[in-house]
Chain A
Amino acid sequence: KQEVTQIPAALSVPEGENLVLNCSFTDSAIYNLQWFRQDPGKGLTSLLLIQSSQREQTSGRLNASLDKSSGRSTLYIAASQPGDSATYLCAVGSLDYGQNFVFGPGTRLSVLP
């Protein structure tokens, strides 16, 4: 059974810092991994999707990497801004889980002005 964890659970940084969020999964037989952002009381917004054949994806100040063999993905946020404050979740599309995703518990990020 696929299990997904995220470290740290919460993170507080001053504005302008570069930061890394971590996502780990137990079964490397995945077909993709997706990073989401969730603002309080809102739905999830997709940030980046990495297919299993890819090693990284970039969008603006965000860069996500994938290392299937070690069961890890990282989300790198450059030059953080207060507007980046949200909960970040990773979700793994597992081959043994059909057409579904297993979600991590999320990292709650606060960027202080």
Chain B
Amino acid sequence: SQTIHQWPATLVQPVGSPLSLECTVEGTSNPNLYWYRQAAGRGLQLLFYSVGIGQISSEVPQNLSASRPQDRQFILSSKKLLLSDSGFYLCAWMRLAGGSGANVLTFGAGSRLTVL
């Protein structure tokens, strides 16, 4: 079965510090991978998605970046955090091939970031 791991679960960072959130998927190959952000009282905002190793598409201009160094690993980074980066970050994956479970977007447990 497929599982998705996301860490850290919670972190508190000062303004201007770097950020690294990691997401890994097990039990599948060549998944689409996604980073979403959910700010307090707001809906889910797609930040980045990836259809393969090294292929990153950005949906929203910001001081965040994403990388996919391996097929099932997706990393969200920042060199200098802003107060506005606070939020709940969610990683998700999707398999496009046919059969049961195809096109189902599956989320990790999330990482709550507070920037002070």
Residues of A within 8 A of B (CB): 31-32, 34, 36, 41-46, 49, 51, 89, 91, 93, 98-101, 103-106
Contacts and interface: CB of A to CB of B under 8 A. Distances in A.
Contacts, number: 51
Contacts of A93: 103
Q: Is the interface of B mostly helix, strand, loop or mixed?
A: strand
Contacts of A41: 88, 110, 112
**Chain A binding site: helix, strand, loop or mixed by DSSP?**
strand
B32 A42 contact: no
A49 B51 contact: no
B96 interface: yes
A42 to B, nearest CB: 7
B116 interface: no
A45 B26 CA distance: 17
